[in-house]
Chain A
Amino acid sequence: MTSLAPSEPRTAPVRSEGTRARRGMLRRRTALIGWLFLVPLMVVNLAVVLAPSLQAIWYSFTDWSGIGDAAFIGIDNYTRMLSDQGFLSALWHNLQWTAISLVVPTFLGLLGAFLLSRVRRGAVVFRLVYFIPYTVASVVSAAAWRTLLSPTEGFGAVFGLNFLGSPQLALPSVALVNTWAFWGFLVVVYLSAMQAVNPALYEAASLDGAGPVRQFVSITIPNIRPTLVFMTMQSIIWSFLAFDFVYILTNGGPAGATEVLSTYMYRTAFSGLEAGYASAIGIVLASISGVIVAAYHILRKSRGWDA
């Protein structure tokens, strides 16, 4: 055994060292090429994402009005939020918006996708019809909904309600318009996830006597859970970034009834001339999204939702 040992690698080490070196060089070159191809994107990201983000962090600790110089004021902007009724009200509206955006579109999206997954004829037509609102520019959708919700014509006249003028109705009304524009996207995403579920599971369940509801709860939901959780996370993040329909339909009104953090931040920066404070609100918004993403990743790993 020992006598054979030295003779065995006599030629092989020479070949393997050379191969290893070449492979190592190739790996380094490949990695370098990869990184170099990333350079343009990184430059763009540095210029339009990282640099402004770092600037925003700095300005969040200043009294900058958006005009002229800024003076460092420590964490005053952050402590101010705790007692700023405008901020707290906008945050509360965001939470309400998130609740509506989580429940209604998710329910409709799952229902629509499940029903579509059972349709054999005309499925493409339905998918297109559901998806179209998502492709329409929000300014166009908003103009149409403004007329539909008007108290003198459309639904407003029919029900005798002023959907966008009433402080009680305005926020849910705008959130539902947002839902209308958004739920078709969820249908398509959930449908593609459902189509990846093994049909044999449904057949077996059917043979065992499980009805459509039981199949949906026991087979569909568990099998599309990664997609469901991911889209739930996205919906929460999008809810905190809600801006367009609020800005176009009510501009945060009536009397702040639909003000959400993003519109409050915008108004604080430009109408209130408090860009430093608005930056702090922006940092808090980004932090909320960051916490949601972190929670998602922790849950995904701990619960094994990728499996």
Chain B
Amino acid sequence: MSTMKNFLDIQASRRAVLAGAGGASIMALLAACTPGSLTSGSGSTTTELWMTFNSKEAEDWFQKNLVDAFNSTDPLAPVKLVVKQLDTMTQQTQTALAAGSGPDLIVSSTSYVPEFVKAGYFAPLDDFATQFGWVDRLLPWALETGKIDGILYSLPTSYETMINLYNKALFEAKGWALPTDRDEFEALCEEAVGLGMVPIAEGNADWVGVSEWLATTVFNHYAGPDAFRQALTGEIDFTDPVFVDGFALFNDYFQKGWIGGSVDRYFTNTFADQYSAVATGKALFHFTGSWATIDAPSYFGPDAGNDGEWDWGAYPSFRDGVPTEVWELSLGGTLSINAKAPSVEDAAQFLDYLNSDPQKQARGMAEAGIQPPAIQMDISDFPASVDERVSRIYQTISESQVPGYTTWTFLPAKSDAYVIEGWDKMISGAITPAQYAQTLSETYKQEVADGFVPPLPA
């Protein structure tokens, strides 16, 4: 009997184990299929936001001064910040949205917004724009970029422009002035080469997108903003000589070693290499954007072991008739609300909070190098601790008479990707400038036909 009892016990325990194992598996399968996992990322009463930051300092500042500060106002849905890697956040967001999930507040870019909107991923924001008065608060051009077929779907996270970074101390010591046209630019480059310098410190080892900074330079400072706008609106083609010649000119600069030192060095130069080269007098310029003012300053001056002094200026006009003072309109990213967010209203409240206090945002720039949102800001909003050279950038943008256009803000996703990929092939000799323009033209026309082109401000 005892043997039989033990046997039954074993059987019972086996059954229990097996039942448990099978049950757990079925439960896991069922859990994976529950609506909660297919709806909003949080699936709870929080508003989830995925973001990426340039530094831990910026992340901590954002968490404390924006997320925690917002949550302390006792909102119905507190915000939960999830920090992602810069290189992969777009892919993660795209995958999550395709799976019917994703964060409640979605960081994206104007290049992707039209396609996301057509897929029904984003909630319309027009009612909130009226309710919160965003039309009066945000920069009009920036607000326009979030409208697809006249309906607002995204707000900008930050705004930027392109700048020509240089070493002011070196220029003063040499008696040089910033070139305003192509002749002056090339003369200065020749002189610099004679001194063993590299004219433009550039490289895409840390960020492949550097290639589109250069393409943006061609579009706005060789072809000119009018021609670029005409291409974006379809009035002229990207195969127009005004673009092909610009690509050819910059390709020629590459082959002469004026950009990055050589083509192969361009592919391995890091940002540290580029900032150091300008700071130590090994290079004349670094073609970049206002974001460079976050990291570049630490490479200049006694603390960095040199006597460099950073400053910035306008790009020269590379073609007759193109104005010198062209300041590109650029958005660092966009914020939209997931159409499947449990409460679109709660998410909109945080969007409003992010765009509500210019002085706090300016403080973020001074304390953590966070680029300000595209809201109306006055120079008096910037605290005294903000470097004058930084606040001057935003003052310049606001006073700009000739706006330019950045590829990552105004080209659709595939065209923007090709601008980078094709540029690298062109400077490597795999394709000609004309072939580069031709493929860009074909890609862009297809995206125009698909309706994926971001809106241009009036």
Q: Mark A56-74, 1 if CB is under 8 A from B, else 0.
A: 0000000001111100000
Contact B265 A39 (CB under 8 A): no
Instruction: Collect the chain B residues with CB atoms within 8 Å of residue A270's CB.
Output: 90-91, 94
**Is A164 interfacial (CB 8 A cutoff)?**
yes
Instruction: Collect the chain B residues with CB atoms within 8 Å of residue A255's CB.
Output: 267, 424-425, 427-428, 430
**Is A167 interfacial (CB 8 A cutoff)?**
yes
Contact B428 A67 (CB under 8 A): no
Instruction: Collect the chain B residues with CB atoms within 8 Å of residue A275's CB.
Output: 98
Looking at the assembled complex, report how far the CB atom of B127 sits from the nearest CB atom of chain A, in whole angstroms: 24
**Is A37 interfacial (CB 8 A cutoff)?**
yes
Q: Kindly specify which of B16-24, B177-185, B191-199, B303-311 makes contact with the partner chain.
A: B16-24
Contact B425 A256 (CB under 8 A): yes
- Partner of A253 from B14, B121, B424 at Cβ < 8 Å: B424
Contact B119 A254 (CB under 8 A): no
A165/B267 contact (C-beta < 8 A), A39-B21, A40-B24 known: yes
Contact B18 A37 (CB under 8 A): yes
B428 (CB) vs chain A CBs: closest residue:
A255
Contact A254 B267 (CB under 8 A): yes
Contact B414 A253 (CB under 8 A): no
Contact B266 A165 (CB under 8 A): yes
Task: Give the docked Cα–Cα distance between A73 and B450 (Å).
Answer: 17
Main secondary structure of the interface of A (DSSP, over half): loop
**Is A178 interfacial (CB 8 A cutoff)?**
no
Instruction: Collect the chain A residues with CB atoms within 8 Å of residue B267's CB.
Output: 162, 164-165, 250, 253-255
Contact A67 B265 (CB under 8 A): no
Main secondary structure of the interface of B (DSSP, over half): helix
**Is B25 interfacial (CB 8 A cutoff)?**
yes
- Partner of B417 from A67, A151, A167, A272 at Cβ < 8 Å: A272
Among A152-188, those with CB < 8 Å from B are 152, 162, 164-167
A43/B94 contact (C-beta < 8 A), A253-B424, A256-B424 known: no
Task: Give the docked Cα–Cα distance between A43 and B32 (Å).
Answer: 11
**Is B413 interfacial (CB 8 A cutoff)?**
yes
Contact A272 B118 (CB under 8 A): no
Instruction: Collect the chain B residues with CB atoms within 8 Å of residue A150's CB.
Output: 268
**Is A271 interfacial (CB 8 A cutoff)?**
yes
Task: Give the docked Cα–Cα distance between A251 and B90 (Å).
Answer: 16
**Is A47 interfacial (CB 8 A cutoff)?**
yes
Among A14-61, those with CB < 8 Å from B are 33, 36-37, 39-40, 42-44, 46-47
Looking at the assembled complex, report how far the CB atom of B97 sits from the nearest CB atom of chain A, in whole angstroms: 7
Instruction: Collect the chain A residues with CB atoms within 8 Å of residue B98's CB.
Output: 66-67, 275
A254/B414 contact (C-beta < 8 A), A33-B14, A39-B21, A151-B268 known: no
Q: Mark B194-235, 1 if CB is under 8 A from A, else 0.
A: 000000000010001000000000000000000000000000
Instruction: Collect the chain B residues with CB atoms within 8 Å of residue A43's CB.
Output: 25-26, 28-29
Task: Give the docked Cα–Cα distance between A36 and B17 (Å).
Answer: 10
**Is B120 interfacial (CB 8 A cutoff)?**
yes
Looking at the assembled complex, report how far the CB atom of A73 sits from the nearest CB atom of chain B, in whole angstroms: 15
Among B398-413, those with CB < 8 Å from A are 413
A167 (CB) vs chain B CBs: closest residue:
B428
Interface centre among B95, B208, B421, B428 (most CB of A within 10 A): B421
**Is A189 interfacial (CB 8 A cutoff)?**
no
Instruction: Collect the chain B residues with CB atoms within 8 Å of residue A33's CB.
Output: 14, 18
- Partner of B414 from A37, A42, A68, A272 at Cβ < 8 Å: A272
**Is A292 interfacial (CB 8 A cutoff)?**
no
Instruction: Collect the chain B residues with CB atoms within 8 Å of residue A69's CB.
Output: 119
- Partner of A165 from B26, B32, B95, B265 at Cβ < 8 Å: B265
Contact B21 A36 (CB under 8 A): yes
Contact A47 B32 (CB under 8 A): yes
Contact B25 A40 (CB under 8 A): yes
Instruction: Collect the chain B residues with CB atoms within 8 Å of residue A272's CB.
Output: 414, 417
**Is B237 interfacial (CB 8 A cutoff)?**
no
Interface centre among B208, B265, B268, B430 (most CB of A within 10 A): B268
Contact B417 A271 (CB under 8 A): yes
Task: Give the docked Cα–Cα distance between A111 and B204 (Å).
Answer: 39
What would 16 A/B residue contacts be, using CB atoms closer than 8 Å? A33-B14, A40-B28, A43-B25, A46-B29, A65-B115, A66-B94, A67-B98, A68-B118, A68-B119, A151-B264, A164-B268, A165-B265, A165-B268, A254-B428, A273-B115, A273-B414
List 17 additional contacts besides A165-B265, A255-B428, A272-B414; criterion CB under 8 Å: A36-B18, A37-B21, A40-B25, A42-B25, A43-B26, A46-B29, A66-B94, A67-B94, A67-B119, A67-B121, A151-B264, A162-B265, A165-B264, A165-B268, A253-B424, A256-B421, A270-B91
